[in-house]
Amino acid sequence: MKEKKYVMGNTAIARGALEAGVRVVAGYPGTPATEIVDECLGVPEVHVEWANNEKVAFELCTGASLCHVRALPVMKHNGTNFVTDFLMHVNFTGIRGGLVLISADDPGGLSSQNEEDTRILVHQYAHLPLFDPSGPAEAKAMIKEAFELSERTELVFCLRPVTRVCHARGIIEFEDLPQNLPSAHYEPDRERFIMSAVEMPQFGGVKRPQIRHRWLNEKQALLEKLMEESPYNWVEEGKGKVGLIGCGMGYTWIKEAEQFLENRLPLLKAGTLPLPRRKLLDFVKGLDRVVVFEETEPFVEGLIKKIFQEEKIGVEVLGRSGFLPSDGELSLAAVLEGIEKAAPGAGVRKPETPALDIHIPIRTRTQCVGCNYRGILNALKQTVRKHKGIVAGDIGCHDAGSFRPLELQSTIYCMGSSIPMASGMALSGVNRPIFTFIGDSTFYHNGILGLMNAANNRINVNVILGENTVTAMTGFQPHPGTGVTLEGTKTTPVDVPKLAESMGVSYRVVNPYDIKQCREALEAAVKEEGPSLIVSSMPCYLLSTRQGKKVFEPREVKVDAEKCTGCQICINDFGCPAISFDKKKKKVSIDPMLCVGCALCIDVCQKGAIS
């Protein structure tokens, strides 16, 4: 029975996959894609899991596909970078059961450490087909089609929703889920699935990688035919010599902008890669210029220029290579400005925006009140200040320590990079103690490799591992140290101290709510040669509270105004949102509505003014 629901884009994508008969879903948490995995949970016969990292998730799903069942690896763009090695092998071997890769891009870096365009990686680099949805409803329809075409072509298909698609909401039609899914079965095909530089006698001694590359190249003609016929590419009539081309969310922004145009322009909606070449060539007949709206790189713009050059077509192509903003996500203002410059005859009317006579302060990143990271970070800041140390950071809740007021970490790049970068700093010869802070989920993702390398090469780095037993930053997803899977199965959590011991790394386990103990551990680590590990072990406060568990005994904390000197150490070295400074009184105060009574600030205050 069909039912219409108002849901977010990620829910629509998950529902589309379930309606397509997906059997295995695996991913690693990362905004904007996280909810896709969660929304697949609870359906009989569908295995759903959070893997150690995206590469494991993709490889796991490929294994399922080779057994003729449909599988869905889910990740954000950073994860797609991480799976590139495997991607550049599975494109050569192909797949069996439908395999659709979700690669969610984040234009503007709304919740990411970078912005990038994975269309280039998936389509131009790996030569794989891609759907670029313009909204939740289309994303749901596309993923169902992608599973069908994946099996037809024997190739991985990619669905590439951007943040505004993942987090937008729309009315989606829910259909019944398929019953009696096909059973798994496996047939060996070593010539296809063993990727090795071996010569193939039946091909005159040509090596296997070249033969499989040839196979992939021969698939391109079929892909071009399928995309030419795709229902996700179409033309909308308009007037004038300037045409608009909308890719994914670019199309949605154009439709938003049309209400402010006196004259609608010809519009080509391009939702696939490969592009619909014939449809494009027919569209530009009679046009002098086209403007390509896409997120984020001028990728389709470049493809169109190449096609026009091959076909000797003199139509001007404008886009994000200089005409439109070359970075960040598109906006209504950017689209209207682009149309106005390219097609003055469109009659652009600027939207009326009411003036707001208020200033909204920018809110920086911070940990939650009661977060156990705040105690270990305070101890680390004191140690770094004393020894003029350097801190290499990583991805996670703790990276808020790199912003004001703590400004502790000196570098933050990508998942697991902290320990190798710290190792490089230590090996450079800089005469300063080197620290690194990494969360447990990131450690299991791939940070463990950095520690293993530091141990093997006896590099003098001091690693602080925040063991809060969950992937907190993205919504409390379980990981190998949690002791339970996403589906609720109890497991044996990884014992980090035993892991360190097996590597020959000295370790100390501390309670992050005991700042004195943390400082003593850090001081001892600085004096040692070789790698050291401090495990700051305490479950996430926020999750524990939701589960009705206590990680500390709450205390009522107050400031004695007579003792407070206004030195603001409790703010600059601690950064708790419950503590504020009154510029007129030159005193700090604690907001009882925010304070959760962790009492860490008592140890931070050097004047004894907090009790």
The tens digit of pLDDT for each residue in 170-198 reads 999 999 999 988 899 999 999 899 888 87
The whole-number pLDDT of residue 369 equals 93
Q: Distance (Å, rounded) from C-alpha 500 to C-alpha 496?
A: 6
Residue 346 has pLDDT above 80, yes or no: yes
Q: Write down the architecture of domain 373-550 according to CATH.
A: 3-Layer(aba) Sandwich (3.40)
Question: Which residue is listed with tokens 């994303």?
Answer: 139
* Mean pLDDT confidence for 414-434: 97
Mean pLDDT for the stretch of residues 189-209: 80
Tell whether omega for the bond before 188 is within 30 degrees of 0, i.e. cis.
no
Looking at residue 196, what is its pLDDT?
84
CATH architecture, domain defined by 553-611: 2-Layer Sandwich (3.30)
- What local confidence, expressed as pLDDT, does residue 201 receive? 72
CB 611 within 8 A of CB 602: yes
How high is the pLDDT of residue 64? 99
CB within 8 Å of 129: residues ≥ 6 apart: 123, 149, 153, 155, 157, 158, 223, 226, 227, 272, 273, 274
**CATH level 3 topology of 233-346:** Rossmann fold (3.40.50)
Burial class (CB in 10 A: 0-12, 13-18, 19+), 520: middle
Confidence of residue 203 (pLDDT cuts 50, 70, 90): low
Give exposure, 306-336, as e/b (b: 16+ Cβ within 10 Å): ebbeeeebebebbbbeebbeeeebbeeebbb
pLDDT for residue 569: 94
Nearest to 250 by CA among 117, 111, 125, 81: 117
The residue ranges of DSSP E strands in 376-485, in sequence order, are 390-392, 434-439, 462-467
- Tokens 């987090």 label which residue? 167
**Are 84 and 120 in contact, with CB atoms under 8 Å apart?**
no
C-beta of residue 269 within 8 angstroms of C-beta of residue 236: yes
- The order of strands in the sheet holding 462-467 is 390-392, 434-439, 462-467, 532-537, 506-510
Rounded CA-CA distance 58/27 in Å is: 8
Contacts of 388 (CB under 8 A, 6+ apart): 432, 433
- pLDDT value, residue 191: 87
In a 13 Å sphere around the CA of 597, the CA atoms on its Cβ side amount to 8
Q: What is the pLDDT of residue 204?
A: 64
Q: How far apart are CA 440 and CA 471, in angstroms?
A: 8
| CB contact at 8 A, 245 and 330 | no
| CATH 3.40.50.920 segments of the chain | 233-346
- Please provide the average confidence, as pLDDT, over all residues in the chain: 96
Q: Where do the CATH 3.30.70.20 domains begin and end in the chain?
A: 553-611
3-226 carries CATH number 3.40.50.970: yes
Give Cα 418 distance to the centre of its chain.
18
Domain with CATH 3.40.50.970 in the chain: 3-226, 373-550
| Phi, psi of 384, deg, nearest 5 | -65, -40
Residue 131 CA from chain centroid, whole number: 18
Kindly give the residue spans of alpha helices, DSSP state H, lying in 72-194: 77-82, 84-93, 118-119, 136-153, 163-166, 190-193
Give which of 29, 77, 117 is closest to 328, Cα–Cα. Answer: 117
Mean pLDDT of 87-98: 98
Q: Are 409 and 391 in contact (CB under 8 A)?
A: yes
Query: What is the pLDDT at residue 420?
Result: 98
Whether pLDDT at 579 is above 90 = yes
Q: What is the pLDDT of residue 202?
A: 66
Give burial (CB, 10 Å; 0-12/13-18/19+) of 531. buried
In this predicted structure, the answer to whether residue 200 has a pLDDT above a threshold of 70 is: no
